[in-house]
Every structure is written in C-alpha cells, then in structure tokens.
Chain A
Amino acid sequence: MDTAPSNPLPPCPVGPDSLIAIKRQQTNPARWNGANWAAFAVALRAAEVELLESLAACGAFATDAGGTAYGMPHGVVIARDARQISNLLKTAQEHGVPVTVRGGGLTTEGESVAFGGVLLDMTGMSRVKSIDAAALTVRTECGIFWHSLAEELRREGLDYLSAPLNLTSTVGGSLNVGGIDVNSPRLGCSADQAVALQVVTPTGDIVECSETERADLFQRVILGYGQFGVITEATLKVRRYTPLRMHYFYYSSLRTAVEDLQILDRNDASDYSGILTIMDSAVNLLVAFDSDEREAAFNAKWRARLRGHGEFGFALRAIPRYALRPWKWPEALYLWQRKRQLFPEFRRPEYLRDGLMHDRTVVFSRAVWKFWGSRQMVIPDLATSAEKFIKAVERGNAVCRKYFPYYTLYCVGIKLRGDHKPHYEMSCIPPDATGWAYGCEFEPVMDRVYSRDHLQSFKNEIYDIGVNLGASYYRFGGMMKGYIRRALGDEVVDRHLAMKRKADPAMILNRDVIF
C-alpha cells in the first residue's frame, strides 16, 4: 500500500498552494459583504416572504454536520412553498444577494453553511403530497427527511428504494448529491429514483421537469449540487416494504473483502451489500436479502465462495494473530471493546423479529450517530470506477492509519444507469465508471480533540488520492471545490460554469459550493 502519488499532477488553477504534501489551512469562503441587504430585506418583505434576522434563527444554521466550517447568514427564510421561494430568488437576483439552500445540513465541507446572505431552510417544506400505491410512486415536498418519508410510506406498507443510512438526510439534499444506501449496488443512488421534479430556477421560474419534459433542466438539477435550481417537489419511485435477512462476513484483509463485494455486485447475488470496518483489522462485509428465495439462491451458489468468516471463525483466527504480537494488544483490546458496544446496537430486539431486521435505516443511523457522531465529523471520501476501487481504498486506509488510531471505512457500490449518463456528468459518479461506481468513506473516530489543521491535512491527503487516481468525490464542493477542477478537469468545469452563468446571472444560488 503506497500513499505517494505515482503521477505528476498539473498545477491547481484555483489554489496554487494546493500542492501535495504541503499542509493547507482550512479555507472558509469569504463572508459576503452584505451590500444591498437592507434594500433586499425591504423588498423581500414587500413580496410577503418572512425573513428571520434574529440570532436565534441565524445561529441555528451556523455550521453543518462537519462542524469545521462556520458562517452566519444575514437572514433565514423557512421554505413554505414554491411561490415563496420564487419570490425569494427573484428578489435575490435583483439585489445580488446570495442564497444558500439547506436540507438536513449533513454536509461536512460547509456546502450548506451560508457565509452571509440568505439561508433557505428547506425542512419547512416537508409534507408528503400524495402516495400512489398502485403506480408505486410518491409525490413529496423535498425538504422532507427520508426518515419522515419512510414513516408515511410505511403506513401504506411501502418503502423508498434507496436513501442514505442517515435519518436526517433530506430528499432534496440527496437528489442534489447522490445518496447511497446498501442497496445502491442493485438500485442505484437515491437521485436515480426521481421520476419528475418541481424546480424553482435561480431566476424564480417554477418549472416541472422530467426525462421527457424540460429534460435539459432535469439532467442538470439531478446531482447538480444545487447550482441550477431549488428542488421543491419530487415524484419518486417506491416499493413494497420488506424486512431484511442479514448476513455478516468478517475479513482481516480489505482487499479480499472488496473483491468479494464486487463479485456479489457483478453477479447480482444479493439485494444489499456493503463494507463497514473497524480500522483495517476487522472488515465486515454485510450482505442482506429482501426474500427467502433470494437468500436461498445466495446460500446455494455464493456463500461458500466468500472468503470471509462468521463472528466465531473470525475470532478464532484473530486470537493467534494478536497473541504473537504484543505490540498490537491495545488494538485487540479496542476491537473487543468496540464489538461489545456496537454489536448489540445492530441486534436490538425491537428491530429484530423472527430473525429479520426491520427498519434498517433506524438501526444503522442510530449506531452512526451514537458511535461516530460528534461536534466535528470529518468524512472525506473517494468515488472511483470498479477497477480503481481497491487501490483507492488501500491508499486511503494508509492515510487513515497515519492520522488516527481508530477509524472506520464504509464502502458501497452504486449501480449506474446508462440512460442517466447526462445526470452523472460532473458529479460524484466518476467519468470513467461503467456498470458500477464505488464509494469509500474514510471516517476517523474522534477519540480526542484534533486541531482543524490536523483534520484538514488528513482530508487533503485523501482528496489528493482522488486527483491522482482520476476519481471523484461524494462530498463535492464547499471547501474542496479546488479539487473538483483538478479531478475532473477544466473543460467540464468551465462548460458547467457557462451553463450556470446563463441560468443564474447574478450567481446567487449556492455560490462557493462548486464555482
């Protein structure tokens, strides 16, 4: 596992100091200077849009889930309907006031932090409009949390297709950036579920779009990082709810586990798959099924081919490995303690009935927040083609080892849709990926307080791997926008910048995220 880049990189056109191995400082965007704010506020209120300027309102949005980027908006608008957002954007265009749109605020690079201007809180628009159980679709406002959508769908015996394993992701946020679930190797990312959207363009037009209606806008808005409009409503595909039949396989080698994951994905051998690790010492390949038939087919054909072990078998093999290496006993102790804390959380009786796991997102998200959540969360990631993935994971793992004693890797595949290629351009889907893209999140456990420089240096080294490998990133934009240009190239970024300038003449919507 080498961490050194093997190819020379072109100089960064955005940040000339962004050279590999040179420590860079956290780079919050400069705060907007507030020009015309007073006139804007008067005009906005005249347009009957409620603008909150109190510290209580603005302070609530001062940072995102990452907790390393801080910025205060001049005012907050709680989204209520498309007409109100249209009035907001028209007024903002006229006065040149930046508008930052926020869903669940689960960004980690400051993308949903307003460095001045207006913060538009989309969670105010979070109602389900209608459910069509026969057509298996739902029409919903896009500030809704995926979990709240699941609550409503479950009353009808339905479930969403795929959504992030985090209860407080919003539909709109995921449609803008991707959204990855452990069923993404089969069903694609959350953004691929959208059938139609209502969008308020940066100039305030309220437009319905889909693959067949205003397809150009639909392609730009899906996975568009909020650059080409505010998604206010979406029609999404849904499915019948099923609990999961879970299987866990444990590996001591990242490479072997990733290889097995990709074998399962290529052969459609499971309904859900993903890797969660405790460092690179205990690598868990999670495999799950929606039906007894699919599980039986897996057991018959694929189970014996996997090189992982059950919990007991893994422990038997780990004992001599650690017994002969006294210097690794602290790590063994950590593994044991982590297992004792974590495993019961995945086996809570109220979520397990007759051996089936119910409400997987609740189970996983509770664990994520309980064991990985903190005031600061640093989760750099790499998204690559299937071929480059093992290399990306191994190099990223070496960086984690260098910076932190304890960390987790989360790896999952994303089934790509050939007809969605236009959506994928300049997104988390790497341009060279075909069939599947793969993502790996590198998540340190914050066992102590780390300096922002330490965290930023860590992220930079992970992102450098992406530039070096020609990968992309899931956490795209914000303070890492310089990497986008370097990873994806000037041609594609400049082409999208030209489209952005045309759609958003005053460049007010979600500025500093990419452009």
Chain B
Amino acid sequence: MMPAAQRADFAACSGCSLCLLVCPAWRRTRDLRDTPHGRAKALQHGVAVVELKESIESCTLCGACEPVCPENIDLVGMLLELRRQLPPMILTRNITTNMQAERPRENVTLSASTPALVAGGMYFGRPALLARIKTLLGSARGITVANDNGADIALALEIGATVPPQRIERFLAPLRAHKTIVLTDGLLLRQVRAWLPEARVAGLGEALGALAPLRRQLRAGDLYVIDPRAYHADHERLVTHYDGLRAETGCTLNLDLQRIAIPATARSLRQRLGADAIDDAPQLRWLLQGRTIARIVVESESDRFAIGQLCTLPVVHLAELADDPSSPEGKQS
C-alpha cells in the first residue's frame, strides 16, 4: 500500500459509494452520514468536524473502505485525524498524561534475527495461548515477546489522543533491533509499519497462517475469520496469501465478493469504550448467514471471545488448531 503521505485526502472523494458496500457501520444504520463517503462530502461542504462527532465515533476502524476506494484516499488515517480534532474526552487527556509519565520497559532481545511479538493484553490473560504462539512462531530461532505491548498507544490511536513522540520512541526502540515484528493489534500494526518501514511487519494471522503444520489443520467446513484491521492494512498483498490458503485447505473465508473481510463484530468507539451497549448479534448473523460450517477458526483472540458468547459452534484460535480435539492431529494427540 502506498505511504499515507502520498495518498489522497477527503477532497478527492468523488462520492462513488463503494465504501458503503463494505462498511459495517453503514450496514448497521443504513445512513450515509455514518460512512467515509458521508464524512468526505460533509467536509467538502465545509461542515465543522465537531458536527460529525457521531459519525466519526460510529466508525469501527476495520479499514475495509480503504482497499475499495478508487481514489486511493487514506480513509483510516483521515478518520484517526478527525478523532484527534474532536474535543478531547476525559480518557483522552488521562491517557496522554500517563504516556508522558511512563517509564521505559526493556525487552530481552535474543538477537536481531529472532522475530519480536507484540501481543495485546488479551493474550497475556491467556498464558497457555501466548505460550503456544511463542512456540509456533519461535520454533526455529526463538522469539522475543515485547514487554512494552503499546496497548496505551493503540488505545490512544483509537480514541484520537495525541501520542507524545517520546512515548513512540520508547515503544519502538527495542523493536528496531528486529527485522520481523508480529503484532496482534491491527491498528497498531498499521502504525508500526509506517514508523518502521524497513522492518517486516506482519499480523498474527498472517504469521501463523504461513506455518504448514497449522495450514494442514484447516479443512472444508471451517470458517476462517481473518482479522480485518491487519488484513485491510495490507490488502493488495494479503488477498493473494489468503486466496492461496482457501485454495489449499478448502476452508471458507470471511470475505465478501470484493475479497474484503467481514468483521465478526462491528463496534463503534462508544461501544468499545463501554459507553454504549454492545450488540454483536446482527453482525455475527451476517457473517454466518447461508454458510454451512462445522467450526470457526479465528486469528484474533477478541473475535474468539465475541463469537463464543453468541455462537454454539466450536470457536478455535488459529494457534490452538493443533490442540483442537476435532482436528486430525488433535485427535491423534
């Protein structure tokens, strides 16, 4: 994908509406104002950012709109910038203050040739899963798990808080030693790729999905749920990766006809922050509608949790595939 600086901004929006077709927020409200198209047209007509607050906060940041935009507009970057321009919430102020005060946390770097894993908080809450991921990704040369997982930066990006440059530097300094960095957070991944252009930055799904032992566990009857944020951030390249995965394994992917990932959840900012009630059921119904599946395989732990709340089908994290008793190898073990 072209660097954000070289890409177009909202002024280039021609109003083609292609973003509506893939926008989970639009699917929820069927209201043009809640879409990139609606926001771009409003801004073209001189509407103040604060008047678009509801629309700006309705975005799920799944990034599906970017790969389909024929004008190549930096739609995610534009949305993040709009969130920064909104009057700050109390949380926004607090997180910026905390980031300025935070002390550095050193990684134990094995060597530059080992990959670094930046795992979100949910993975630290499931140590067995994290250990499994470490084993899978570090089987050849070991792996460095970042002590600083940048969770505050990810949250700051999401809510539109300013991230102090020194905080970014503290986060990036230990990562600079690694040629390969694997992140579980798709929004953070997008930023790290921009901050460290020389590094090979991959999402957890892509990194695990490249492992033959895991690919062998996938089969027809699996619905493989790609993490949308990571996928859409590098869609042009990853669409081939996942098409190969489908062809090789026969699994069904959560892709629509444009090969855009349908998110398992479609939560607005207010829902993510707990200010509004969460209702994942309509989005999950759309994900599953008309599909004959026996098992759901997810790349993201948060998707596993959300789907597991509402769905009676077995839901397995990609890293746990070999441990799944219904898998061929799982049965053997």
- Asked whether B14 lies within 8 Å of A374 as measured between CB atoms, the reply is yes
- How close is A186's CB to chain B, nearest CB, in angstroms? 22
| Mask: chain B, 1-31; 1 = CB below 8 Å from A; 0 = not | 0000000000010111110110000000011
- Asked whether A59 lies within 8 Å of B42 as measured between CB atoms, the reply is yes
Which A residues lie within 8 Å of B51 (CB)?
A: 54-56
A151 to B260, CA, bound (A): 12
A349 to B247, CA, bound (A): 11
Nearest to A352 among chain B residues (CB) is B243
Nearest to A145 among chain B residues (CB) is B21
- Decide yes or no whether A431 CB sits under 8 A from chain B: no
Interface size on B, residues (CB 8 A): 37
A123-B30, A155-B289, A155-B291 given; A359·B257 CB < 8 A: yes
Which A residues lie within 8 Å of B68 (CB)?
A: 366
Which A residues lie within 8 Å of B46 (CB)?
A: 55
Q: State which of B44, B259, B290 has its C-beta within 8 Å of the C-beta of A155.
A: B290
Which A residues lie within 8 Å of B33 (CB)?
A: 56-57, 60
Nearest to B45 among chain A residues (CB) is A59
Which B residues lie within 8 Å of A375 (CB)?
A: 12, 14
Nearest to A60 among chain B residues (CB) is B41
Tell me which of A61-69, A248-256, A456-464 binds B.
Answer: A61-69
Interface size on A, residues (CB 8 A): 43
Nearest to B51 among chain A residues (CB) is A56
- Decide yes or no whether B308 CB sits under 8 A from chain A: no
- Asked whether B41 lies within 8 Å of A167 as measured between CB atoms, the reply is no
- Asked whether B45 lies within 8 Å of A168 as measured between CB atoms, the reply is no
A373 to B45, CA, bound (A): 21
- Decide yes or no whether B258 CB sits under 8 A from chain A: yes
Q: State which of A55, A57, A59, A350 has its C-beta within 8 Å of the C-beta of B243.
A: A350
Residues 246-284 (chain B) with a chain A CB within 8 angstroms: 247, 256-259
Which B residues lie within 8 Å of A374 (CB)?
A: 14
- Asked whether B20 lies within 8 Å of A373 as measured between CB atoms, the reply is no
- Decide yes or no whether A475 CB sits under 8 A from chain B: no
Which A residues lie within 8 Å of B239 (CB)?
A: 350
A343 to B92, CA, bound (A): 48
- How close is A349's CB to chain B, nearest CB, in angstroms? 6
- Asked whether A56 lies within 8 Å of B14 as measured between CB atoms, the reply is no
- Asked whether A168 lies within 8 Å of B243 as measured between CB atoms, the reply is no
Which B residues lie within 8 Å of A54 (CB)?
A: 47, 51
Which B residues lie within 8 Å of A366 (CB)?
A: 68, 70, 258
- How close is A122's CB to chain B, nearest CB, in angstroms? 10
- Decide yes or no whether A477 CB sits under 8 A from chain B: no
- Decide yes or no whether A32 CB sits under 8 A from chain B: no
- Decide yes or no whether B32 CB sits under 8 A from chain A: yes
A78-B31, A151-B256, A168-B21 given; A60·B16 CB < 8 A: no
Which B residues lie within 8 Å of A362 (CB)?
A: 257-258
- Asked whether B18 lies within 8 Å of A56 as measured between CB atoms, the reply is no
Which A residues lie within 8 Å of B70 (CB)?
A: 366, 369-370, 373
Which B residues lie within 8 Å of A156 (CB)?
A: 290
- How close is B93's CB to chain A, nearest CB, in angstroms? 27
- How close is B301's CB to chain A, nearest CB, in angstroms? 27
A55-B47, A59-B42, A362-B258 given; A349·B243 CB < 8 A: yes
- Decide yes or no whether B203 CB sits under 8 A from chain A: no
A368 to B330, CA, bound (A): 48
Interface pairs (9), CB distance under 8 Å: A60-B15, A60-B37, A62-B45, A65-B14, A78-B30, A105-B15, A145-B21, A150-B257, A155-B289
A-to-B contact residues, CB < 8 Å: 54-63, 65, 67, 78, 104-105, 121, 123-126, 143, 145, 147-148, 150-152, 154-156, 167-168, 349-350, 353, 359, 362, 366, 369-370, 373-375
B-to-A contact residues, CB < 8 Å: 12, 14-18, 20-21, 30-33, 37-38, 41-42, 44-47, 51-52, 55, 68, 70-71, 239-240, 243, 247, 256-259, 289-291
